[in-house]
Structure formats: structure tokens, C-alpha cells
Structure 1
């Protein structure tokens, strides 16, 4: 337990963020996110965070060492998409019972489960997740995984993130620690190149990364590892030979990026593929880092040509939507990188932001929001459903963008709503994603049902007469 506490504190002592990196030690420590007290599971537990962060690695079997209830529905986890294997979508659990726990059979059952998965599914690796129950009874999954690795000649990776140690965000960080300790650097690539990069914290939701990768392919930039979206185990294991990296969801993997920079000299930056200027800036910074690490300087010129071509095409396609969306007022209830990147993307097409949440956002995310909006009162931490409902009406929003949990608040206010979180069915990244985002907002706002919904009900009209 003491080792878990130490790991918990270390995970939140982060010095790699772009804003904090230039400050003194005391200022950096004050600005670090503080871990929640063990036992707190606001917004999800540490186990949930670790599994969410690793499950999109597609050719890996994810084994939950726990009673059955700890494993949920993995089939559509976060809406991440795979271009090949579907093994990651299958649920595996040791399904511990009271008898297993009381009689001390849990570690034996874990080893047996690993063997059954290896024989029945032939995965590239097996990730074993500890949970509250197995951590409290003292199961040593590190030892079991080490024995299974040796006996089966198969990577079996322990992920020590039991739910009670803290928040979902802590679980994200502990997942990165597991990759760094047991996976990254264990395989040497056949053909390392001067234009190899890693993309960290990209989950390929609804296939979003597939709209960005063709742009990198045109530049001759190879994504050695996209962690975790649509990743393969061997790609992650050889990620230490990339020349540069970009972190998309810094809340989850900025610590992993920093430690890879310290260990293997892989420079990184924090960026976003949402919006036109955001995508262009990300491509430019990737090219700049690679050239500084030895790539052909012509990459910078080719990047500018590609950016100019793509921006011209996307602005032409957006001409159909801009007159219909310009001046429309939008409220965002999201967090993380989307708290500023989607705000900037919407402002590019002329929409007015009447508020955005910054829950689960890093300090750097919050600073970017404030710089973009220029008004403090447009930023809020979190709100109760009643407060959110009132805000929609007070600020006369035309649409709300949020996750599925708050959609009914907008519907109760008789306002359009669009899913911007992980459950969405449309990809909004890159230039193509910007067009899709504008299209979906346009469809939602101008749906002919809204004028009808806002009319008095027939029985109410009868009463007025």
C-alpha cells in the first residue's frame, strides 16, 4: 500500500507541461493537479481510468482480475475504432467468488485465466488489471505476470491501478507508468526512420485519427505508435525509437511523454487536431521537431504547401455552413483538451461561445481557454443540472455540445444538443472533421422539429382559447 501511495503522489508531481516548465520548483508544485484522497471515485475510479487508457490497444487481451461486476461492457469502450484486430473488445475477467477469496485461490485462478487466454486467443500480449478486491487481499499480480511471461513466452503486463487509490485521471497516469515499465523499449523496430513520431493520448474515437494520418502520410511522416488509439502491441513496444512526439490528451499522458523524453531524448509538444488552425499548427510543430532531430529541412516547406492546400479546400467547403452558423450561440459542457480546442474551432466558423467547462482540464488547457475567450465569466468548473439548465436559458444558447450524461438538460430546455464526447458517432478531427462538425451542428440547430417543440401543446392552446 505504501508503494501505491508513493506512486500516486509521483504521478501528480508533473513538471513537463509547457506553462509550468519555465517556472521555479515551488511555483510548479503549487500548480500541479492534486490527487484525490484514496477511496474517492468522482468521475470514475483509478481502475476505470487505466482500462480506458489502455484498452484501445487492439491486439491485446485485457484481463480484469476481480469479481465479475468490476468488468463492464467493453464492446464499445469510448467508441474507439480499430483498423484490424477486435480482440480488445472482448471482456476477460477472472470472475472471483467469495470462495476464491476466502480460500486463497485467486492468484491460482489468475494464472489459469492467463493460460486459457493464451491458448484460446493467441494475443500479442495480455494486460492484467488489479482491482479493489484483489489489491486489498494482497494478490501480487506482478509475480503472477512474471511467472506467466516466463512460462508462456508471452508478454503479460501487470497494471496496478486498483479503484480505491484515486481518481480516473490517476488511473490514466498509472496506465502510462505500466507501459513505460513493462512495454515501451522492449522491442527494437526493423527500420527506424528520421520522420517517425509518436502520438500520445489519441484514442481514435469514431476513427478520428484516420482523418489525420493521411495528412502525415503525404508529408512522409510515419506514426510509429499512436497510443492508445488503433495501436498494436509491437508498435507501442518499439515507440522508444521515434524521433518526436505529440500529446493530444495531456491530462492522461503528459507524464509518459516527459519520461520518454528523459529516457530516450524524444522531444514533444502539446497540441490538438480540432479546428483548422489547430490542425495546421500541429502539422507545423511536428515538422519543426523532426527537422531539429535530423529530418530533411525540405519537410518544413512541404508542410506549408500541404497546409495551404488543405486550408483552401476546407474553407471552400465551409462556405455552405458559415452563413447558417455565424452568430449562433453555443454552450460547451466538456473538458480536457476539448475545453479549448473545440472552442477555438467553433469561433473559426463564426459561432459565439457563451460558456465552456474546464473539468478534467490541465492548467495549460485552462490558460488556453482564457486566452481564447478573453472573458473569465465564460469559463466554469462544473455545474449541477439545475445550474446548467439555468445557464442555457440565461445566456440564450442556440445549442449545447456535451457528453451523453447532460443531453437531457438541453432537451428539457427545448434546445438542440450534439454529442462532443467519447460516445459520439462522428469524427471531428482534422480538416475533414471540421467540415463534419459544422455539418452536424447545422443539422441539429436547423432541425425543423425545434420550432414545433417550442410551440404550446394542442391542449395548452385549447385552454388559451
Structure 2
């Protein structure tokens, strides 16, 4: 536990974070995220954050050393995609019981589980995650992993991020520390070149990175490691030989980017692949960093030619949507890099941003939003469900873009909603991704279901009764009986 405590303090003291540098020593020890509320699971714990960062490494076996519920509550909770191995989709857990805890069988059971995974699946590595229970009872995860690695001639990586130590964001950073301590730099590639880069903080949600990688391929730029989206263990182990890096989500892995720059002289920048302008700027900065590290300057010209071609194609496709979406109002309830990158992307086609959440955004993210929106009146740290519902029900926005947890607020307010977070079904990165995002917004806003659900319910109105006399006495008696039963007359009914 002493080593874990030291690691947490090291993560809290992040020199690459502008906000952290402005704090005093006491404030720095508290970290960036708000403390967890006992009993509240929303937002995730450190274990959840570590699993989010590492599980997309597709050929690795991820073993949870804990009671069964810990794995059940965290497994496969993001829409990352793989182009090959599927081992990461298999759930492994030691499934500790009360008897195991009382009898002190945790470490023995963990060693046995590692051996079974090795024999049954033969993975290139096994990642072991302790959780609250196994950390509290004192199981020495690092010692077991070290012994198993020697016994089975297999990398067994301890990911020391039990849930109680902090928030999901802290878990993200502790996962990065595990990669630095046990994985990156452990393998030497035989094909390192001047155009190798790393992409950090890209999760390949719904296959988003597959829309960007072909652009890099056309420029002759090789992605040595994408961490963690669609990653392979050996790619990450040799990531220290890249010449440059791009940070996609700084709140998650900025410590990884900074320490890789310190140890292996890999410069990095923070960029975004959301939106046409930001995608183009990211490609430019990647090429510029490579040239500074010794690549042929002719790549700069090829990059500009590629950008010109791709932008022309994308704007031509978006031209059909501009008159349909011009002036439409969007409420963006997300965070992190999307709080500014998606804002910029939507404003490029004339969509108005009525509000954007900055609850997971860094100081740099907030400054970008201010520059894009020209003020900070449309930024909010946190909006309660009641406030969200009031805003939507009063028709202050034509659509809300958010994660799955707030979709029901929009549905209750009878307002179109589109998933922009990790559960989404469509990729939105790159030039083609921007076109897809706009297409999905247009489909959501113009879906005829919204006109139908906003109309009065059938029982709130009645069809008009024709003003004509009953043809027979029996019909007159029947009509009189129905009106008397309902307490109405024919004059009370109108068209809906």
C-alpha cells in the first residue's frame, strides 16, 4: 500500500497540467477530481477508470482479482472495437468468496487463475486488477504477478488501482503508470522509422480510429501504438521508439505522454479528430513534429495536399445539410475533449450551441471553448436533471447531445437526443466521421416521431360529431345516452 500511496501522490503532482502548477502544495495533494460520495457509483471508481484505459488492448487477458460483482459491473462498458483479437471480450475473474477471504486463499487462487489462463489461451500478457476487497485484505498482487511471470515465462502486469483510492480519472492515470512501469520499453522493434507516432487517449469507440488511420497511411505515417484503442501488447511494449505523439484526451493519460517525453524524447501535442478544421490541424501538427525529429520536410507539402482534397470532399457532402441545420440549437452535455472539439465541429456548419458541459474538462479545454464561443455564458460545470429538463421542455434547444445516462431526460421532454459518448453506435472522427455526425443530427431532429409525441393524446380530444339528425329513433336514443353518460353534448366535441 505504501507504493500505491506514493504512486497516487506522484499522479496528483502533474507538472504538465497548467491547473496543477497553479495550486499550492495542499491543494495539489487533493488531486483534480471531486472526492467520491460513499455509496454512489455514478461516475466510476479508480478500478473502473483503469479498466477503461487497458481493456481495449485486444490480445491481452484481463484478470480481475475480486468477488464476481466487481467484474460484472465493469466489463465491456464502452464501445471500443477490435480489428483482430477478441480475447479482451472474455471476462476473467478469480471470483473470491467469503470463505476465500476468511481463510486467506486470495493469493493462491490468483496464482492458479493465471496458470489456467496461460494454459487455455496462451496470451502475450495478463493484466491483473485488484479491487477494494483484495486491496483491503492485503493480498500482495505485485509479488504474485512477479512470481507467476517467472514461473510461466509470461508478462503478468499488476494494475494497482483499487476502487476506493479515488475517481475514474485517477484510475485512468494509474493505468498509464502501470504501462510505464511494466510494459512500455520492454520490447525493441526491428522496423523503427522516422515516421512512427503514438496516439494516446484514443479508444477507437465504434471504430472511430479506423476513419483516421487511412489518412495517416496515405501520408506514410505509421501508428506505432494507439493507446489503448485496438492496441496489441507488443505494439505498446515498443511504443518508446515512436518519434512523436498526439494526445487525444489529456485528462486521461497526460502523465503517460509527459513521462514518455522525459524518458524517450517523444514530443507530444493535444489535438482532436472531431470536425474538419481540427482534423486538418491535427494532421499538420503531426507532420510538423515529425519534421522536427528528422523526417523529410516534403511530408508537409503532401499533408497540405491531402487536407485540401479531403476538406473539399467533406464540405461538398455537408453542403446538403447546411440549409437544413442552419440555426438549429444544440445542448451538449458531455465533457473532456468533446466539450470543445464537438462544439467547434458543429459551429462549422452553422449550428448554434446553447450550452456545453465542462465537468470533465481541463483548464485548456475551457479556454478553447471561450475562444470558440467568444464568451463563457454557455459553459456549465454541472446541470442537474431538473435544470436539463426545464431547458429542454421550454424548447431552448432543438436537440441534446450527451451520454446514455441523460437520454431519458430528453425523451421525457419530447426532445431529440443523440448519443455522443462511449456507448454510441456510429463513429464521428475524421472527415467522414464529421459527415456522419451531421447526418445523424439531421435524422434525429427530423424524425417524424417527435411531431407525433408532441401532439395531444387521443384521449385528450375527440373526433368531431357531424351536425345531422339521427335517421331513426333508436339512433337518437343511443346518441342521447352516450352524451348523457359522458356529461357532454355534441357542441362540446371538436377536432383534435
Confirm or deny a common fold (TM above 0.5): yes
Q: 1:35 to 1:358 in 2, by over 3 A?
A: closer
Query: By how many angstroms is 1:134 displaced?
Result: 0.5
Give yes or no for contact 1:15–1:28 (8 Å, CA) kept in 2. Answer: no
Separation in structure 1 between the aligned mates of residue 35 and residue 426 of structure 2, nearest angstrom: 36
User: What is the CA distance between 1:383 and its match in structure 2?
Assistant: 1.7
Q: Which residue of 2 aligns with 1:447?
A: 447
Q: Confirm or deny that 1:425 pairs with 2:425.
A: yes
Against the structure 1 CA distance between its residues 36 and 406, is the aligned structure 2 distance closer, same or farther, given a 3 Å change threshold?
closer
Q: Which residue of structure 1 aligns with residue 123 of structure 2? A: 123
Per-residue CA deviations over 1:243-282 (Å, capped at 9, x if unaligned) read: 0000101111111000000000000000100000010000
Secondary structure of the corresponding residue to residue 461 of structure 2: helix
CA distance in 2, matches of 1:31, 1:103: 37
Structure 1 segment 53-452 matched on structure 2, within 5 A: 53-72=53-72, 76-394=76-394, 396-452=396-452
Answer with 1 or 2: which has the greater Rg. Answer: 2
> Which 5+ residue runs of structure 2 have no aligned equivalent?
463-491
Gaps in structure 1 of 5+ consecutive residues: none
| Aligned pair partner of 2:32 in 31, 34, 45 | 34
Query: Could you tell me whether the CA contact under 8 Å between 1:38 and 1:165 is conserved in 2?
Result: no
Cα distance in structure 2, aligned partners of 1:145 and 1:313:
51
- For residues 268-308 of structure 1, what are the alpha-carbon distances to aligned partners after superposition, in whole Å with 9 as ceiling and x for unaligned? 00010000001000000000000000000001111000001
Q: 2:251 and 2:298 mapped to 1: Cα distance? A: 33
Whether contact under 8 Å (2:418, 2:444) holds in the other structure is: yes
Provide, for residues 351-393 of structure 1, a one-character-per-residue CA deviation record: whole Å limited to 9, x for no partner.
0000010111111112111221122221111122111111224
Closer, same or farther: CA 352–238 of 1 in aligned 2, 3 Å: same
**Distance in 2 between residues matched to 1:224 and 1:426, nearest whole Å:** 25
SS at match of 2:231: coil
Question: Alpha carbon RMSD of aligned pairs, Å?
Answer: 2.0
Using the TM superposition, give the Cα deviation of residue 29 of structure 1 relative to its aligned residue in structure 2, in angstroms: 7.3
3-state DSSP class of the match of 1:453? helix
SS in 1 for 2:139: coil
Q: Rate the CA distance shift 1:430–1:367 in 2: closer, same or farther, 3 A.
A: same
> Counterparts of 1:327 and 1:34 in 2: how far apart (Å)?
36
Q: 1:97-134, CA deviations, whole angstroms, 9 ceiling, x for partnerless residues?
A: 11111111110000000000000011110000010000
**Residues 258 and 289 of structure 1, relative CA distance in 2, 3 Å threshold:** same
Q: Deviations over 1:374-413 (max 9, x none)?
A: 2222111112211111122446210000001111111111
